[in-house]
Structure 1
Amino acid sequence: MLVLLEVPLLAQVQQATVTQTVPAATQPALRLDIPHSDNPLNSFRATLVPKPNLANSPRIDALVKDGVLELSLKDAISLALENNLDIAIARYNIPIAAADVLRTQAGGSFRGVNTGVVQNTPGGGVGGFGPGPSGAGAGGTSGGAGGAGSGASGLVSSTLGAGTNVASYDPAISGTFSIEHFAEPLSNTVVYGVPELQQNTTTGNIGYTQAFPTGTSISAVFDNNRGTTNSPESFLVPALNTYYHIALQQQLLAGFGLGPNLRFLRIAKNNQRISDEAFKLQVVTTVTQIANMYWDLVAAYEDEGVKSRSLEFARQTLESGRKQLALQAIPAMDVMKDEAEEASREQDLTIAKTTLQFQELLIKNALTKNLDDPNLEAMPVRPTDQSAMTDTTPQGPTEDMTARALKDRLELGESDIDLENRRLSRDAARNALLPSVALTAYYGGSGLAGLQNPASGTISTSPPDLAGSLRTAFNNSAPDYYVGVTVNVPLRNRVAKSDQYRAELETRQSELRSEQLKKQIRIEVRNAQYALEQSEARVVSARKGRDLAQKTFDITAKEQELGAGSNYQTLTARRDLAAAESTLVAAMTAYQKAKIEVDRAVGSTLEANDISIESAKTGIAPSGQ
């Protein structure tokens, strides 16, 4: 019978981050820490993660009034922090990164984390460019640093973590207990003195191994053996053997020191920092998208009102024209023109209504975890914030905005931390070029005890019991010691040389990417600033156009009332007024989106919207937000 026991002791489990199983009713948010337990058996128990809570937050019900979801921009952002699935997906990257830290604390290699921005919510656009198509990727639509995949942003990551092998820093205890009976018929009785040799052996051994970040490893064994035999040639029956052995090995060149041996842990901790920055970037991206969607909803809501008023006037005009035709005051051709105008306005209103309904669906999809409730899916949304433009928009000098962006943009922080990881890998690859030189030393001792075998005819001086065997093993009477150096020198070393050279190239490549990112941010800041100035000019022009169209309509309506104008002229003026109002709505929407883009480009989105990252991490927005 053979029983093996391996007990890894996770001494630093309290620093890990994995979610315990908690009932969904009492677990509204994803846990970001693991409670420490003094029970060593917990090291062998699975730590489970509860199923995602797919219930919408109660905030939605509080915003429903008379069957209409009344929504402000702040309400939309709060709902997004609580319910948006892009943020919910990205939220898991935080404990995943912390789990990687736990793994590397034990000497394991890092697995990497996905820090790309998730963009699976359709609508809204990101970064002020494009109409905002839905994303295509469950883990992250855009590639990110810190193990998100080779080739992201044109960078190669094949040597990230390269270097010498890292042993496990978790202590391990191994044990063996066995009982064996052995019988063997013999063809010659000279050696053992019996025709059939019978042996009974009981073994109890224990071992201990552990490595350290300095490139040091220790091991210890303690072996005990009890044997009996039927051979008269054996002096001791039973014979008790004891042996212990303590060994130490130290790497002197390749694999020496904290740098190469802690590189996995340092990279994992950097990845954890990148994951935190990436989550902030996810919140910024999603909030930017939600804000764009909100102003699209406002535009659709206001435009539907414009088209509705235009149709109402066309219907009133048509009704008046038909009455005049009945009195033969106008020709039938004028009524036909009124009918054509009314049909055109009906078409415009239908388009505006369906556009509004689609924008309502988009924003409800973005602000909920599910749309299983048919009442919610069909519920109209009424935005409570209206487009407005102040006379002056404080921006500050372009140089100040650029300086702030270079300081606050999260992408630069990610890039800098990723560059640290590449430098750690580069240094470890340089160390791996060195020959392997290991200093090994051990010390041990042996002990023997047992009862004299009467059949042997000899007198034994060995102690009779296990205590005596232990005493002779540890009293240095039978020592076993060794000191030696093991050298391994690869003559061409092409694999390590290739890895080192690639690591150098990838580091330089990442440095260039960092500079390219700074240039890109400068361009984005200037583009956002110019777009805001242009949108302000469009709003001013659209307002003047709307005011002029209003005056023209008022004049034509007065002329018609006095009998100096026709219905068609008034309808044309009213159509021009509706077009001018729609143009103003579009200009105001572009202005609001330009302001959103300025905040994103400068890196002030979180501050501008008073968003707490801690609330975003827990998925519970403050009640006042």
Structure 2
Amino acid sequence: MRTSLPRYVSAVLLVTLPTWAQNVQTANVQAPALRLDIPHSSNPLDTYRATLVPQPNLANSPRIDSLVHDGVLELSLKDAITLSLENNLDLAIARYNIPIAEADILRTRAGGSFRGVNTGVVQNTPGGGVGGFGSGASGAGAGGTSGGAGGAGSGAAGLVQSTLGAGTIVQSYDPAVTGTFSNEHYTQPLSNLQTYGVPLLQQNTTIGNVGYSQSFPTGTTLSAAFQNNRVATNSFRTYLNPSLNTYYQVALQQQLLAGFGFGPNLRYLRIAKNNQKISDEAFKLQVITTITQIANMYWDLVAAYEDEGVKSRALDFARQTLDSGRKQLELQAIPAMDVMKDEAEVANREQDLTIAKTALQFQELLIKNALTKNLDDPILEAMPVRPTDSTSVSNTGVTGSTEDTIAEALRDRIELSESTIDLENRRISRSAARNALLPSVALTAYYGGTGLAGPPNPAANTPSTAPPDWTGSLRNAFNNTAPDYYVGVTLNVPIRNRVAKSDQYRSELEARQAELRMQQLKKQIRIEVRNAEYALEQSKARVESARKARELAQKTFDITAKEQELGAGSNYQTLTARRDLSAAESALVAAMTAYQKAKIELERSVGTTLDANQISIESARTGIAIGGD
């Protein structure tokens, strides 16, 4: 039997748009600038397009070329820090955590659960351990990443987070439109002619349905359905042929106990927003950690550079002494044994210089690795690095009292800020878990209507009061001639309720555990600050002692050299004094380096690293240092 496509079902063709849109050219968005919280786009098809992230830029910043002079990379501490902001891969990896946290917010705005964010610190750049009382090693997690304070669902820093986000099911807040269009031809053999009057019943059924549903953070769900079907048959005993049926329904459901209100239904979004704050704080901690590491590496480079100079001067003097001894031996002014001692001394000094040079080359390689995105250029890899800053000891010690410094640390340390936000997440989860203990009571109401139309079947020879076309069916469905309404309450009371009870109890325990961790962290920070202050005072005392020892060794060497010049001393005595002077100079270099590192550790423990180095967190976010020249 011939059928036609009703005009009213043409709208359901919109359901094919998502499939088509997958083939449309996808958008290309930079990861650090990713903004997923834009409410609407001018093009509705953008909803179905993938958002791609470009390949990472692995080219070194041009700044490094401007620091090369005569084949040598001349580097100040400020230059090193600036280059690390632009090129360090630990920072580059951590930058992706910021848009990842934004993506979680987009997901939870639609009612989806949060996936969590990484809040640990990436410490995969070898060469400089980050301080802290009882620490100094790189990250123990995957990829050199340390554990964070929150944001993940498994647990970190000894804390359990298994109930983070626990509570009732959250429905999707994104509207959903469904549609169905179908056309069926059905033939059924019949055993008698009494019912339909034909031996083979043939039916052509065309269906066009559209549905809409959306949930809201109050625990409300709204749904609507618009259903249409057209049935044509070969039976002459059917009064309407074809028969046109229309039905609509608008339904509303409201949770009254469990799942009621903004608290349990917006918990994912609130936790995701807090996780974004934690991610922002974690990135600051990443910058502080990286800057601390780079500063330690720089002063290790300075120490290796200065120690290489000490060993080189010691070798030069030993060679001069050996040349002088050989000339005196030719004149038979000294015994051959003295020359042999001079030769042994030269060999020892050559060994020391070789060790110092290789140590310097390794430090150069470490800092170049930390300040570049790649070392594929063999010229850059082999290029020597010359530090332009030298170690010095400030006469001013720690300003203010220790308690004031500790108070500053308790105010500025990122770890405390992270833990405070994480504790808020646990309290949100605790409230949602308490709500989930309640029975489920849902109030449901809907209203609808039915319409019928179709031309009378000429073969039936029976009059009909139904309108002849679909417009009449549509009119009758909405004119309240055949209403369909319902109001009801659904109650679900779980007996014993052990699953929800367990989750609620665990959430309480985890919140209390986090409170204790907060107190423990405060105590740890107090100890770190005091330890850093003690270390700074101790290193300053070591510097003064090493400087005096170096001055004494210099005077001793000057006296022995003068005695030898006047013929009252021997080459061996002078070489011994020169060896002691070199050892004193190396000890002074080591003490000065330890002092610089102690200052760096004090800044880290107090939380003033960014201010002390004039670091803009926005520059760190973008990887474009401002004012670094």
Residue 50 in structure 1 maps to residue 50 in structure 2: no
Residue 236 in structure 1 maps to residue 240 in structure 2: yes
1:526 partner SS: helix
- 1:313 is matched with which residue? 317
Q: Which of 162, 167, 174 does residue 166 from structure 2 map onto?
A: 162
Deviations 1:309-365 (A, max 9, x none): 011001001110110111011111111111111111111111111110110011011
Length-normalised TM-score, structure 2: 0.94
- 1:33 is matched with which residue? 35
Residue 21 in structure 1 maps to residue 21 in structure 2: no
Shift of 1:623: 4.0
- 1:281 is matched with which residue? 285
Residue 555 in structure 1 maps to residue 559 in structure 2: yes
Residue 292 in structure 1 maps to residue 291 in structure 2: no
Give the AA of the match of 2:199: P
- 1:430 is matched with which residue? 434
Separation in 2, partners of 1:132, 1:372: 29
Q: How does 1:341-360 map to 2 (within 5 A)?
A: 341-360=345-364
Shift of 1:131: 9.4
Give the AA of the match of 2:466: S
Specify whether residues 133 and 429 from structure 1 end up closer, same or farther in structure 2 by C-alpha distance, changes over 3 A only: closer
Shift of 1:133: 5.1
Deviations 1:151-183 (A, max 9, x none): 311100110110000000000000111111111
The 8 Å contact of residues 293 and 363 in structure 1, kept in 2 or not, is answered as yes
Separation in 2, partners of 1:346, 1:129: 39
Shift of 1:135: 4.4
- 1:76 is matched with which residue? 80
The 8 Å contact of residues 100 and 117 in structure 2, kept in 1 or not, is answered as yes
Q: What is the count of residue pairs matched by the alignment?
A: 611
Q: Which of 380, 392, 395 does residue 391 from structure 1 map onto?
A: 395
Separation in 1, partners of 2:143, 2:353: 40
1:107 partner SS: coil
Give the AA of the match of 1:74: K
- 1:12 is matched with which residue? none
Shift of 1:150: 2.2
- 2:503 is matched with which residue? 499
Shift of 1:502: 0.3
Separation in 2, partners of 1:140, 1:256: 43
The 8 Å contact of residues 116 and 148 in structure 1, kept in 2 or not, is answered as no
Specify whether residues 336 and 139 from structure 1 end up closer, same or farther in structure 2 by C-alpha distance, changes over 3 A only: closer
Separation in 1, partners of 2:129, 2:139: 10
- 2:589 is matched with which residue? 585
Shift of 1:7: 8.9
Residue 245 in structure 1 maps to residue 252 in structure 2: no
Deviations 1:541-586 (A, max 9, x none): 1111111111111111111111111111111111111111101100
Q: Percent identity, aligned pairs only?
A: 79
1:236 partner SS: coil
Deviations 1:81-132 (A, max 9, x none): 1111111111111111110110000000001111110111111111156896
1:180 partner SS: strand
Separation in 1, partners of 2:135, 2:67: 28
Separation in 2, partners of 1:131, 1:508: 26
- 1:189 is matched with which residue? 193
Separation in 1, partners of 2:628, 2:367: 21
2:228 partner SS: strand
The 8 Å contact of residues 20 and 50 in structure 1, kept in 2 or not, is answered as no
- 1:410 is matched with which residue? 414
Separation in 2, partners of 1:488, 1:168: 22
Structure 1 residue runs of 5 or longer lacking an equivalent are 10-18
Separation in 2, partners of 1:498, 1:280: 37
- 2:453 is matched with which residue? 449
Give the AA of the match of 2:476: T
Separation in 1, partners of 2:453, 2:569: 128
Give the AA of the match of 2:530: R
Residue 147 in structure 1 maps to residue 151 in structure 2: yes
Which range moves more in the overlay, 315-324 or 615-624? 615-624
1:376 partner SS: helix
Residue 214 in structure 1 maps to residue 214 in structure 2: no
- 1:301 is matched with which residue? 305
Shift of 1:148: 3.5
Alignment root-mean-square deviation, CA? 1.9
Specify whether residues 20 and 497 from structure 1 end up closer, same or farther in structure 2 by C-alpha distance, changes over 3 A only: same
Q: Which of 89, 94, 116 does residue 90 from structure 1 map onto?
A: 94
Shift of 1:78: 0.7
Specify whether residues 129 and 586 from structure 1 end up closer, same or farther in structure 2 by C-alpha distance, changes over 3 A only: farther
Give the AA of the match of 1:243: Y
Which range moves more in the overlay, 127-136 or 502-511? 127-136
The 8 Å contact of residues 7 and 172 in structure 1, kept in 2 or not, is answered as no
The 8 Å contact of residues 98 and 279 in structure 2, kept in 1 or not, is answered as yes
Shift of 1:470: 1.2
Which range moves more in the overlay, 468-477 or 249-258? 468-477
Structure 2 residue runs of 5 or longer lacking an equivalent are 19-25
Deviations 1:196-239 (A, max 9, x none): 11111111110000000000001000111111111111111121
Separation in 2, partners of 1:8, 1:601: 56
The 8 Å contact of residues 89 and 139 in structure 1, kept in 2 or not, is answered as no
Length-normalised TM-score, structure 1: 0.95
Residue 486 in structure 1 maps to residue 476 in structure 2: no
Shift of 1:530: 0.4
1:547 partner SS: helix
Give the AA of the match of 2:516: L
Residue 323 in structure 1 maps to residue 327 in structure 2: yes
Residue 529 in structure 1 maps to residue 536 in structure 2: no
The 8 Å contact of residues 202 and 234 in structure 2, kept in 1 or not, is answered as yes
The 8 Å contact of residues 7 and 174 in structure 1, kept in 2 or not, is answered as no
Separation in 1, partners of 2:249, 2:366: 70
1:237 partner SS: coil
Specify whether residues 98 and 441 from structure 1 end up closer, same or farther in structure 2 by C-alpha distance, changes over 3 A only: same
Give the AA of the match of 1:260: P
The 8 Å contact of residues 4 and 174 in structure 1, kept in 2 or not, is answered as no
Separation in 2, partners of 1:409, 1:134: 19
The 8 Å contact of residues 118 and 138 in structure 1, kept in 2 or not, is answered as no
